[in-house]
A and B are shown apart, each in its own frame.
Chain A
Amino acid sequence: MTEPVPATVADRPVSLVDLLDRVLAGGVVVSGEITLSIADVDLVHISLRTLLSSVSALVPAHD
């Protein structure tokens, strides 16, 4: 009775968060030659901190 949800929900921050969960924290790590340091956990923290501080600007406060 329930269909799987479509792949792209909308351009909402919530789906970006789910995406970042995967493309940053998930995904196999094969160290590139240029961005060796990018593949570590720090990046996730940096990006999510940015996201966290920006998200209030993107999502209108719901009452």
Chain B
Amino acid sequence: MSEERGVWLYAVAREAGGGGQRGVAGEAVRTVAAGGLVAVVGDVPLDAFGEQALHRNLEDLDWLGAVARAHDAVIGAVARTGPVVPIRLATVYHDDDGVRGVLEERAEEFGRTLDRVAGRTEWGVKAFVDVPPPVPRTEEAPSRRGAGAAYLARRRAERDTQAEAERLAVEQAGKVHFRLTGLATAARTHPPQSRELSGHGGQMVLNAAYLVDDDRSRAFAEAVAACDQDSPAVRVQLTGPWPPYSFADWEDR
């Protein structure tokens, strides 16, 4: 072999799925079976996907974006055919034996996770609030008498208004989370995305994932829409369906 290759792990399932899919290196995705499970894998060149190369390439947004989408596409294809355990991006083995090893070693845990996500889908919900900008105007240094006191009073009022808006927003986000959790079999919160990253003007007050029974996904989407209309101050946005990324870890919660 002229080129060193590694085995990129996408997902674990009970049955093979996602056939014909292309992976992160444009490779044809294949399966490795062991422990009553099937791993969906692809052969990737180590000069781009080895440890050193990954550290370098993951800093490249275009590269990262393309790889993340390809990784997600393979997992999504597997998910369409049955329950799936999505594997975190950039998990690479030397060879198929390494993959078989992890399947056998963790067969029980994989099985539990597959049971938990079967017939369910992950939905993402983000809530944003338009909090007034922190310090709108600090220019115009006060020169007249009493202007200093007025300035301080105005600043205090602005601060109070902002604090109150934030408090209300967090409270509202808590209500949304509570309501949606009631419709889901499990819920997780991710750290809020920064304002720049989220692409929204508002501040993110909720970035959550919900594992929802497939026959309740419509009711769930309607509840999200209702939450969005409940309060003019808080915008609630649904994303998904996602493979069960946020519910694939080992802790039973």
* Interface residues in chain A, defined as those with a beta carbon under 8 Å from any beta carbon in chain B: 1-5, 7, 9, 12-39, 43, 46-48, 50-52, 54-56, 59, 62
Give chain A residues whose Cβ lies under 8 Å from the Cβ of B200. Answer: 14
Residues A3 and B221 in contact in the complex (CB < 8 Å), given A14-B199, A17-B198, A26-B246: yes
Q: Is the CB of A28 within 8 A of B250?
A: yes
Give chain B residues whose Cβ lies under 8 Å from the Cβ of A25. Answer: 190-191
Which applies to chain B's interface (DSSP): helix, strand, loop or mixed? mixed
Other CB < 8 Å A-B pairs besides A24-B68, A36-B51, 4 of them? A5-B221, A15-B239, A16-B65, A28-B248
Instruction: Determine if B161 is an interface residue (Cβ-Cβ < 8 Å).
Output: no
Give chain A residues whose Cβ lies under 8 Å from the Cβ of B6. Answer: 34
30 pairs, CB–CB < 8 Å, chain A vs chain B: A2-B221, A2-B225, A4-B241, A5-B240, A13-B199, A14-B200, A16-B69, A20-B64, A21-B207, A22-B86, A23-B68, A23-B86, A23-B88, A24-B89, A26-B246, A27-B88, A28-B87, A28-B113, A28-B250, A29-B91, A32-B91, A34-B46, A35-B91, A38-B54, A39-B90, A46-B58, A50-B60, A52-B197, A55-B199, A62-B201
Q: Is the CB of A19 within 8 A of B197?
A: no
Instruction: Determine if B218 is an interface residue (Cβ-Cβ < 8 Å).
Output: yes
Q: Is the CB of B94 within 8 A of A23?
A: no
Q: When the two chains form the complex, which single residue of A14, A33, A47 contacts B93, counting CB atoms closer than 8 Å?
A: A33
Write out, one digit per residue, whether chain B residues 59-93 have a CB within 8 A of any chain A CB (1) or not (0): 11100110011011000100000000111111111
Q: Is the CB of A30 within 8 A of B102?
A: yes
Min distance, Cβ A28 to any Cβ of chain B, angstroms? 4
What is the bound-complex CA distance between A34 and B148, given in angstroms? 63
What is the bound-complex CA distance between A1 and B222, given in angstroms? 7
Instruction: Determine if B181 is an interface residue (Cβ-Cβ < 8 Å).
Output: no
* Interface residues in chain B, defined as those with a beta carbon under 8 Å from any beta carbon in chain A: 6, 9, 46, 50-51, 54-55, 58-61, 64-65, 68-69, 71-72, 76, 85-94, 98, 102, 106, 113, 123-124, 126, 190-191, 193-194, 196-201, 207, 209, 217-218, 221-222, 224-225, 238-242, 245-246, 248-250
Chain A CB count within 10 A is highest, among B50, B60, B68, B199, for: B199
Q: Is the CB of A7 within 8 A of B76?
A: yes
Q: Is the CB of B193 within 8 A of A17?
A: yes
Min distance, Cβ B115 to any Cβ of chain A, angstroms? 14
What is the bound-complex CA distance between A34 and B90, given in angstroms? 9
Taking CB as reference atom, which chain A residue is nearest B228? A2
Residues A7 and B240 in contact in the complex (CB < 8 Å), given A22-B246, A28-B249: yes
Q: Is the CB of B124 within 8 A of A38?
A: no
Give chain A residues whose Cβ lies under 8 Å from the Cβ of B98. Answer: 32-33
Give chain B residues whose Cβ lies under 8 Å from the Cβ of A16. Answer: 65, 68-69
Q: Is the CB of A31 within 8 A of B238?
A: no
Residues A59 and B199 in contact in the complex (CB < 8 Å), given A28-B248, A32-B93: yes
